Amino acid sequence: SSVINILLDDTQLTEQVKAELQKQLPGMQVQTWQDLSPMTKLMSGTLNQMSFIFVFIILLALAFGIINTMLMAVLDRTREIGMLLSIGMNQAKIFGMIVWETLFLSFTGVIVGLVFSVSSITYFGSAGIDLSVISEGINALGFSSHIYPKLDADFYIEFAPMVILIALFSSIFPARRAIKLKPAEAVRGE
């Protein structure tokens, strides 16, 4: 009895390749890694769900961080905003000023984050991350003690606009707070 392993570049094609091989090799047994190791399939699904929850928590923290930062910016500039309102600047321009400032900071953060992320993933993708400290547990699961992280361009294409949208929505509360300031009180007190 012989075994032939086939490693695909795209795991989305697994079932399609299995069906094609079963057609071409009718006397052979063809199994995917999910068929051979249902526990690994379960672990993979669990890790995907945990990753989704982790990303959601990070994005939620990002939203609260942006709201807090921009509220502090509004509070620090209460007199300035009050002065602008008292000399006749309309509320829409104040609102837009806060939103544009938030978007500018977010675009800058996204660019810096992308540069850092792409460079670190590229470096560790080729050099690898040594997990030999916990190699016994990893080897028992059939994994190597070195991992090579990889993120597809799709991840960046989806994540960067998501961050900008979160920033846009997060800027609304501080901007509304700024336009609700009463000019006389804002100029008088700090």
* 118 in a structural domain: yes
pLDDT digits (tens, 9 = 90+) for 77-112: 888 998 998 898 999 999 999 999 999 999 999 999
Q: Is residue 68 part of a domain?
A: no
Q: Report yes or no on 123 lying in a domain.
A: yes
Q: What is the pLDDT of residues 151-173, one digit of tens each?
A: 889 989 999 999 999 999 999 99
Would you give the end-to-end CA distance of the chain in angstroms?
A: 82
Distances (CA, A) of 18 to 4, 14, 25, 109: 13, 6, 10, 44
User: Is 81 part of a structural domain of the chain?
Assistant: no
Count the helix, strand and coil residues of the chain and give each as a percent rounded to the nearest 5: 75, 0, 20
Q: How many domains does the chain have?
A: 1
Q: Is residue 7 part of a domain?
A: no
145 in a structural domain: yes
Q: Which residues of 41-52 are buried (b: 16+ CB within 10 A; e: fewer)?
A: eeeeeeeeeeee
Residue 151 belongs to some domain of the structure: yes
Domain assignment present for residue 39? The answer is no
185: containing domain = 90-190
